Amino acid sequence: MTAALPSAQMRDALALWLQGMRALSGASGHTVDAYAQDVGQFLGFLAGYHGGAGGLRQIAETSQTDMRAWMATERNAGISSRSLARKLSAVKSFARWLAEREGFDISAILAARAPKYSRNLPRPLSEAAAREVIALAPLQSREDWTGARDTAVITLLYGCGLRVSEALGMIGRDLPLRDVLRITGKGGRERLVPLLPAARDAVATYLRLCPHDLVPDAPIFRGTRGGPLSRRQVAKVMEQTRLQLGLPATATPHALRHSFATHLLGAGGDLRAIQELLGHASLQSTQVYTAVDTGRLMEVYTASHPRARTQRQ
């Protein structure tokens, strides 16, 4: 069975839904593109599966058999359980929106269950390793100002729990830095993050050495030619640093954000407060760090408790 082109009416409905996502939910361009592809492929499957494109009622008439056939087709194409769960979530969101507009019953679509998959836990660095990364990062550059730049970015990731995009998205208008950063994260959600003195000092050192003019609407962090600093350059610095320190491949720039959260939790930080600092929309996203902390606790227990050592012998 090959996919077919959805009807013009269905394509128009999809475009309207995506337009609403951009305008109302503040979804990023990458998110909207992914939803467009996922739902578009599903609608193409329905059209092909039923031998032709139908109108909007094709969604209302979708059965559990249709959903099982679509999911089986995706799995046979090599789609992972995690990716299929993401696709199903997108399909349900679109179907729910369409049902509210048209008065459809979409019970069969909503009843479809996502495949189970093991969620990869974040791999934070130890506190000592995080400090070593910050200390070694400036040595990856030949010029003092780029070394100071890399130190400032990495200190913001670990010291403030910023995403790489959030650190690189800081502009001249954000200066001078105060005790609290106002960060706009995923979904356009704003949050306030305390700025540690070490992070403020690292940024100040970079600003003093930076040879480029820092205008209000331009990024603070610049590449060697004056353009915006790229995510790839930050990843390259981290890669060189972790190789020199003998850290695993999981020691990425994003791992510094994980380390920020994990170390706060380990020091007795409140989960709700950590959620706010990270900018997570739901507590469920933050709760993954409790599993990380528990996992580390079990490692320590197994390595040090007399009874555990006896059982291993």
Please pick, among 96, 123, 186, 236, the residue that the annotation labels catalytic: 186
CA 155 centroid distance within chain = 19
Query: Do residues 71 and 111 touch, judged by C-beta distance below 8 A?
Result: no
Q: Is 212 a catalytic residue?
A: no
Is the separation of the CB atoms in 109 and 87 below 8 Å? no
Alpha carbon 96 to its chain centroid, in Å, reads: 25
Q: Rg of the Cα trace of the chain?
A: 24
CA distances from 99 to 40, 48, 110, 173 (A): 17, 22, 11, 44
Q: Please pick, among 191, 222, 258, 280, the residue that the annotation labels catalytic.
A: 280
DSSP string for residues in 152-200: HHHHHHHHH---HHHHHT-BGGGPSP-SEEEEE-GGG-EEEEE--HHHH
| Farthest-apart Cα atoms in the chain, separation | 69
Catalytic residue among 163, 191, 200, 263: 163
Q: Of these residues, 11, 82, 254, 296, which one is catalytic?
A: 254
Instruction: Catalytic residue, from 200, 242, 257, 258: name it.
Output: 257
Paired with 193 in beta bridges are: 181
**Beta strands 180-184 and 190-194, pairing class:** antiparallel
Q: Is 254 assigned a catalytic role?
A: yes
Cα–Cα distance, 232 to 229 (Å, whole number): 9
Can 87 be counted among the known catalytic residues? no
SS3 29: helix
Is residue 242 part of the annotated active site? The answer reads no
Q: Which one of the listed residues 49, 158, 206, 289 is annotated catalytic?
A: 289
Q: Helix-strand-coil percent breakdown of the chain, rounded to 5?
A: 65, 5, 30
Catalytic residues: 163, 186, 254, 257, 280, 289
